[in-house]
Amino acid sequence: MTMPADPFANDPLDAGMGGSTATIEREEVRQEVEPGDAERFAHYVRKEKIMESAFTGEPVIALCGKVWTPGRDPEKFPVCPECKEIYNGLRPGNDKPEG
């Protein structure tokens, strides 16, 4: 049975001083779940979903369908026109008693 070749056997930085140390560098690339308008607008999402995302790091889904992980101040951006249109078309909830 033959052993696999040592990947560091021909290390040009090894001056024959015994052992060698190698550093493998990798570039971390972060990509949005769905790139696009999520960077330009503040979207409507249920408050409890925003809080859950803050704890879990999981992305949320806005009314307009955009998927992203919240992490910026929504007050600094205009409201997404699609979210606003959908929100305005929703029926009022039963939060307030009639009378």
> Mean pLDDT lowest for which of 12-21, 29-38, 46-55?
29-38
Domain boundaries, position 60: 47-90
Rounded distance between C-alpha atoms, residue 74 and residue 35, angstroms:
17
Contact 31, 8 (CB under 8 A): no
User: pTM, whole model, 2 decimals?
Assistant: 0.52
Which token pair is 93? Answer: 């909830």
pLDDT at 42 over 80: yes
In a domain, 63, yes or no: yes
In a domain, 37, yes or no: no
Structural domain count of the chain: 1
In a domain, 66, yes or no: yes
pLDDT digits (tens, 9 = 90+) for 48-87: 999 999 899 999 999 999 998 888 888 899 999 999 999 9
